[in-house]
A and B are shown apart, each in its own frame.
Chain A
């Protein structure tokens, strides 16, 4: 099995031996950042291709299949097309905020992305306040969306942005309640420790009923956080043109698009880490041969497999349900998900205190 901790250590010791200490640290940081951004872009491209193919399958179409084998180069073609599109400077915008908005959105999703544990040791940021930091970093993105809508000086963008603000801050509550429920079960906030604790049974199994409820609420709230159908009011194209990014052209729009797709990846990644055991293999007590066989599959394959399974579930939801109205969205959150989430937190606490977990 590949162990990324030892690979990291060997690269670090090699750099320390060749360069002076401070320069080595600097080079290391730069290498890590470049790798993280490269991984971010690769996953964005994979996700856009997957979204198109899955959407096509749900609608009985073929999807992209002309550019490259099975249409694999379609996304690259689109990215290059977007790069050479003209950037239009609109007349009445608030220029400073208009330029700042994509920075906030992409930075928040990139920093959250670097908190995901891909494998043992393959994680950029591993704080002792891990999941709390993830919540903080991901809630940053809503600021960028609000700024984008406000600064464009376009009524559709403005409506899209305040809708998005109302929706995203509301659903963040359910997300943090679900994460809290899991922190009660695990007793730690460090992401790597949370994953390590799931070696002998994933939390969705060990926490049984409250964990399953939390998982379902988390998926609903996560879907709303990423502004995807059935919660895609902020960019409801039939009413609002394109919502908060109507006035962005070329790569300005492209960055919002990439960040939106990566937010879906991040939601699925956090769901995998907290509920489905991260990179730990499937473990069934008593079946030693089976467990040993599962150990042979590398952790990164487990992690990505689970993540893409969750993404596929969310895409299925997206292409199945019609869009809600804004009042329905807020009622669903405040009258159903928040009370259920609070109750679920209490149930989980009782289970943990009484020792009723598996």
Chain B
């Protein structure tokens, strides 16, 4: 039943957005004007291409994020059974977290966390 509801919610939310967009297209005025369709930047025609390479700062943080997010996935099942495992859980996770903290320390040392 839960998963049926999940699918219902996915379909219903998509249908909601589609419905709103259809209604607004239906009742709103439509006048064509070439200047309206211009990119809204400063009032003068836009210069150059937008889809270019952007700075690597974001890319480094995205890679670091990937590492830590996967870690969170591994930690969730562990977190639910800490109380049953007791002391073993603490020892086990100390190893795991120390590797991660080493990774973060390495990135910090390599100045990957500085904004360049």
Contact = CB atoms under 8 A, between A and B. Distances in A.
Q: What is the predominant secondary structure among interface residues of chain B facing chain A?
A: helix
Nearest to A242: B40
A251 B19 CA distance: 11
Contacts of B28: 83-87, 250
B48 to A, nearest CB: 8
A339 B104 contact: yes
B68 A338 contact: yes
A74 interface: no
B44 interface: no
Contact of B5 (A29, A99, A135, A170): A29
Contact of B80 (A158, A170, A188): A188
A202 interface: no
A32 B8 contact: yes
Contacts of A111: 6, 9-10, 13
A234 interface: no
Contacts of B12: 30, 33-34, 36-37, 110
A265 B93 CA distance: 33
A162 to B, nearest CB: 5
Given A106-B16, A154-B40, A338-B68, A87 B25 contact: yes
Contacts of B80: 183, 187-189
A331 B113 contact: yes
Contact of A29 (B8, B38, B41, B79): B8
A356 interface: no
Given A91-B39, A252-B21, A330-B115, A172 B5 contact: no
Contact of A180 (B20, B79, B94): B79
Interface in B48-62: 50-51, 54, 57-58, 61-62
Nearest to B2: A127
B65 interface: yes
A92 interface: yes
A126 B9 CA distance: 13
A183 B69 contact: no
A20 to B, nearest CB: 16
Nearest to A259: B17
Contact of B82 (A172, A184, A241): A184
Given A29-B5, A103-B14, A184-B82, 20 more contacts: A32-B5, A32-B8, A82-B24, A84-B27, A91-B38, A103-B17, A125-B9, A158-B51, A165-B62, A166-B61, A166-B62, A170-B65, A173-B69, A180-B79, A183-B80, A187-B80, A330-B113, A334-B108, A342-B104, A352-B82
13 contacts: A29-B4, A83-B24, A85-B24, A86-B29, A90-B38, A125-B6, A127-B2, A162-B54, A166-B58, A183-B79, A334-B108, A342-B100, A353-B90
Interface of B: 2, 4-6, 8-14, 16-18, 20-21, 23-25, 27-31, 36-41, 46, 50-51, 54, 57-58, 61-62, 64-65, 68-69, 72, 75-76, 79-84, 86-87, 89-90, 93-94, 97, 100-101, 104, 108, 113-115
Interface of A: 25, 29-30, 32-34, 36-37, 82-92, 99, 102-103, 106-107, 110-111, 114, 124-127, 129, 132, 135, 150, 152-156, 158, 162, 165-166, 169-170, 172-173, 176-177, 180, 183-184, 187-189, 241, 246-247, 250-252, 254-255, 326-327, 330-331, 334-335, 338-339, 342, 345-346, 349-350, 352-353
